[in-house]
Amino acid sequence: MKRCIGLFDSGSGGLSVLREVVKLLPDARYIYYADNAYCPYGNKSRDYIVERSKAVTEHLLHQGVEVIVIACNTATAAAVKELRATYDIPFVGMEPAVKPAAALTRSGVAGVLATASTLGAEKYRTTKSYYEGGCRIVEHVGKGFVELVEAGILDGPEAEATVRASLEPLLAEGADVIVLGCTHYPFLLPLMQRIAGPGVTFIDPAPAVARQVVRVLGEKIPGRTAGNHSIDIQLEASGELGPLTRIYGLVAG
């Protein structure tokens, strides 16, 4: 019988996490919920995000999921403690990937791109304080990044101007390693790499999250990828499904 895994995000960004989980568990059944009627989460209050996270969690539980992946940095920071305390099911959240960034930097400066809510959350501030003794950590809000991805605008003049406005301040500070602190941001990674140049490393925490999902389910991490498997994925949304299926086409392709 297939394992049933639920994932949710404020929109399409969590598909970057789904992509990595599927590589490790291609035979599972997936239900991905985009709460895009309320997207973005990054400018909402903590109480609002907790309320939405609970509503989505209950929807996924009614469909028999065994584990829920909070494929959203903002929702993880705001709601993961309360979700774990309220529901008797494992939750896997996004981790601020500051530790690997601090270990990888050669310049002594690590950058973090994230939403305002993530950067202001206790989870991020605690992680930052633990590792900033070994390097300087600078951050910037990826302003407009979520909206670009939801609109499917991943390149071109508008995307480049928006990405430059948030990325260049980190580069000016000397950051040679940059953490992608929002699951939407990996879809803009080719553009970011082109702007930053080959001397800058970007860290996407999604592969580490996928490995944690495997551990939580008690599975073994296989030495293969999904390949040509017929993947069982159910896409759902609180708003229009079109933007989600458009971005999923990029992931699946």
Concerning whether 39 is annotated as a catalytic residue, the answer is: no
Residue 141's φ and ψ, nearest 5 degrees, are -75, 130
Question: Tokens 């670009």 map to which residue?
Answer: 148
Distances from the Cα of 117 to the Cα of 15, 44, 136, 187, 188, angstroms: 20, 8, 21, 20, 20
CB 4 within 8 A of CB 31: yes
Give the integer Cα–Cα distance in Å for 52 and 166. Answer: 28
| Per annotation, catalytic residue among 4, 39, 135, 182 | 182
Give the integer Cα–Cα distance in Å for 177 and 134. Answer: 14
Give the integer Cα–Cα distance in Å for 100 and 103. Answer: 5
| Per annotation, catalytic residue among 4, 39, 72, 135 | 72
CB 187 within 8 A of CB 154: yes
Tokens of 103: 């270990």
Concerning whether 4 is annotated as a catalytic residue, the answer is: no
CB 241 within 8 A of CB 38: no
Residue 211 burial (C-beta neighbours within 10 Å; 0-12, 13-18, 19+) = middle
Cis omega before residue 40 (within 30°)? yes
Q: Any idea which residues carry the catalytic annotation?
A: 72, 182
